[in-house]
Every structure is written in structure tokens, then in C-alpha cells.
Amino acid sequence: MALEIVLITGMSGSGKSVALHALEDAGYYCVDNLPPELLGAFVALEHKHHGNRVAIAMDVRSAASLPQVPEALQNLRAQGITVQSIFLDASTDTLVRRFSETRRRHPLSNDDSLVGQHALVQIIEIERELLAPLREHAHVIDTSVIRPAQLQSYVKSLVAVTPSTLLLVFQSFAFKRGIPVDADYVFDVRMLPNPYYEPQLRPLTGRDAPVIDFLRQHEEVALMQRHIEHFLAHWLEVLARSHRSYVTVAVGCTGGQHRSVYLVEQLAQAFGERWRVLRRHRELDDAKSQ
């Protein structure tokens, strides 16, 4: 069996430990904070002693050698090794809050005590710049408003998909909880007829038959779906030719329960025959994880 490597990178405080735990549960041999210059030798050693599935976490603590990582991953792929790269991100406000709550020191802080909020924001922005090359070549998961159980589920579903052609992730969300920072494309569907204002439909979701029937009665909904499909049908081919591995398409409505969920389900079905597709419903998944 071919060796499978999952590389977890991302912002400090974004949930890398949670992601590693999920991969460990999925049967991966996991190691945290591996220096990038040891990647090749480590992979060879672990393939010999721990089997075919290895997960590695790297972060800004190895800042000086992080520029080596993209080339090292290319070398591994050239050897026939399957490599998936996942980058965990979160908004700056979220990261500041998490550091404040846990009283952890940021890895880039030279002070042994927690830095002030203004200084912490500056450090986080420096970290974003240092990690930008890794983010560019990875599948990004925004952990700002999702629970650890959701993140574990997302990571497990991601590594369960065979990495061959482009992976297309459709995600519904609520604008009132913020736009996902991991989205490559964002479509706003708040102008469409809203099932929320129908009392019998309010407690349902865009996956329930009565809501589906309601939305299919409105030509504006069908027109929006056709427009999104036409846009993606053209540009996904272009992205695939440029060797993109992951594309996240976010569809947002007010509450993330009806219209965006419906359209994500329809789009995933429409593109599922051509591309590898994953569905995520941020607000519904959050409710299930509580």
C-alpha cells in the first residue's frame, strides 16, 4: 500500500492538536512540531516502522525552515507518496480570545508572560505572513466559529477522500456569524425567498422535503443555482489545469439553515459526477455537535 502523509499546519491557536487527535483516531501515526528539514528522513523511517499512514504537524516554531516545506512535499509526491496538506485558520479576534482564555504564550512571543492584546495582534499578523506560502498550497479550514467536534469531523471526512483530482467543498453558512475565511468563492443568497417566514417551515432545514418544494417553486432560486453552476463549471476547469487541489465554495444566507443549505445540496449533487465533492453545513453541523 502506498504511503499516505497528511501535513497539518496553521495559525497558533487554530486547533492543530484537535486535528491531530482526529487523525490519530482515524489510524494515523501522528507527530507534532516536526522540523521541516527532517521531513524526508522522518517519512522514510516512519514508513518502515509505523505503516502507511502518517500525520505530521508543523507550525511557526519552525519559521526559519518553513520555506523548505513546499519543495519537500513536491519531492515526496515525486516518490509516489500521497500527500494531503491541511491549513487551519481563524480570525484574528478569535485567536486573541483563545490566547486570552487559555493564558498561553504565543510561540513568536519572546516574553514569558502573555503579551498585551495590541502586541498579540501584531504577532498574529506576522505569523500569517510567515505561513502564507503553506496556506496557499493547502486545503484551508476556518475554525473561527466551529466546535472541536466539528473540526474533527471535517478532518476525518477530508482524509477519507482519495486525493487524485481537484476536491470541491461546498459549505453553507450564516452571514450573521461571519463569512468563512477558508472560502475561495462566496455566494450571497439572502435576496432569495426565505422559508423562515413560513411558520411550518421555520424549524426545518434546506434538506427537508417541504423546504425543498417551497424553494423549487421560485424561479429566482433556480436562476441563482444556474448562475452559480455556470460560473463554477468554467472556472473549476481552469483551476484544475493550474494544479489546484482544493476549492471551497461558500453559500451564505441569513441563518444558514434553509436557502444556503438547499443550494449547497443541489450544487454538490450537480458537480458530484465530475469532481470529488464534500458537503459542509456550518450552522447545522454546529447544532449537531452541541
10 is an annotated ligand-binding site residue? yes
Q: Which three cell numbers stand for residue 73?
A: 512535499
- Please report the domains of the chain, with CATH numbers, ordered by start residue: 4-160 (3.40.50.300), 167-286 (no CATH)
Is residue 64 predicted with pLDDT exceeding 90? Answer: no
Cβ atoms of 9 and 33 closer than 8 Å:
no
60 is an annotated ligand-binding site residue? yes
13 is an annotated ligand-binding site residue? yes
61 is an annotated ligand-binding site residue? yes
| Mean pLDDT (the chain, rounded) | 90
Is residue 242 predicted with pLDDT exceeding 70? Answer: yes
pTM over 0.95: no
What is the distance between the alpha carbons of residues 197 and 3, in angstroms, rounded to a whole number?
52
62 is an annotated ligand-binding site residue? yes
Q: Quick one: pLDDT at residue 43? A: 82
Q: Which residue has the higher pLDDT, 166 or 187?
A: 187
Rounded to an integer, the average pLDDT of 8-37 is 92
Q: Quick one: pLDDT at residue 47? A: 66
Q: Quick one: pLDDT at residue 163? A: 64
100 is an annotated ligand-binding site residue? no
Tell me: the pLDDT tens digits for 76-129? 888 888 899 999 999 999 999 998 888 788 888 764 444 556 688 989 999 999
Q: Quick one: pLDDT at residue 114? A: 42
25 is an annotated ligand-binding site residue? no
17 is an annotated ligand-binding site residue? yes
